[in-house]
Amino acid sequence: MYSPPLSSRQGDATLAHHEVLEVDAGGAQDGPRADRTVAIFGAGRVGTALARVLLGAGYEVRVVGSGPATGIELIVSVLAPGAIAMDAADAVAEADVVILAIPLHKLDSIDPQLLRGRVVVDVMNYWEPVDGRLADFAGSDATTPIVAARLAGATVVKAFNHIGYHDIESDHRAPGEEHRRALAVSGDDRRAVDLVLEMVQRTGFDAVDAGGLHSSGVLQAGGPVFGVRLNQTDLRRHVA
């Protein structure tokens, strides 16, 4: 598994921008903070794959299940050793970023109040065979604006939805390595998008800013980038 060093920040303008943001956000005088804490809702295929690459990239990872933490302690210790199973409120309280890696039809099982004020990464796709017919999502061009509306008070960013869970670990590469795959990040809040762009970079992909949530439909199932291995140039062209 590719595990970038915590200081791996070369060659990316986004990271330079992020470093400025870090000083603004935290008031730190000693440069950007190397570590961040991520809470992942969902100990399933995507949740545990993301947990592993995030751990490899130096993040602290908390994993939240559909019930109490005790229900997923074993699965987390086996599938994402180093991550900590936690109850939702505790995990969110510690998190810089919250990732939603649960089936879309389970979204309403999360109390939106819990996520108020948080940067939330929407990894979810609307998939009728799994989710059933969800009237709001079925007719929509883009699902994440609907997720964002339901999580009023959170800052929602879409990312990691257009890569299969099995590719998350096999496709990540060190910066500058040949055939490095690009992944898109879409969102309306500059600081939140920058946080997630950095996360994508650090987990071993070239990050591409795909613009605001209104245009995030291009990342969804059936779209031109969904499940497709693209480099940064080609991904940029598709989301332009």
Ligand X SMILES: NC(=O)c1ccc[n+]([C@@H]2O[C@H](COP(=O)([O-])OP(=O)(O)OC[C@H]3O[C@@H](n4cnc5c(N)ncnc54)[C@H](OP(=O)(O)O)[C@@H]3O)[C@@H](O)[C@H]2O)c1
SS3 178: coil
Dihedral (Cα; 151, 83, 195, 184), 10-degree rounding:
-80
Q: For residue 94, what are the CA distances in angstroms to 49, 84, 168, 220?
A: 21, 12, 25, 30
Site for ligand X contains 150 (CB under 6 A): no
**Size (the chain), residues:** 240
Strand order in the sheet with 155-159: 84-85, 60-64, 37-41, 97-100, 119-122, 155-159, 182-187, 206-209
Site for ligand X contains 125 (CB under 6 A): yes
Site for ligand X contains 41 (CB under 6 A): yes
Output the smallest distance, CB 227 to ligand X, in A: 8
Residue whose CB is nearest to ligand X in the complex, by number:
44
Judged by beta carbon, residue 102 or residue 195, the one nearer ligand X is 102
Output the smallest distance, CB 125 to ligand X, in A: 3
What does the block give as tokens for 95?
């998190």
CA distance 169 to 203: 9
Question: Which listed range, 16-24, 77-85, 121-129, 210-218, lies at the site for ligand X (CB under 6 A)?
Answer: 121-129
Site for ligand X contains 42 (CB under 6 A): yes
Interacting residue with ligand X among 8, 14, 39, 47 (CB under 6 A): 47
CA distance 62 to 11: 29
Residues that bind ligand X (rule: CB under 6 A) add up to a total of 24
Judged by beta carbon, residue 12 or residue 131, the one nearer ligand X is 131
Q: For residues 161-200, which are near ligand X according to CB under 6 A?
A: 161, 164-165
Give me the residues paired with residue 84 across strands: 62
Interacting residue with ligand X among 19, 37, 127, 223 (CB under 6 A): 127
Binding site for ligand X (CB under 6 A): 41-47, 64-66, 101-104, 106, 109-110, 123-125, 127, 161, 164-165
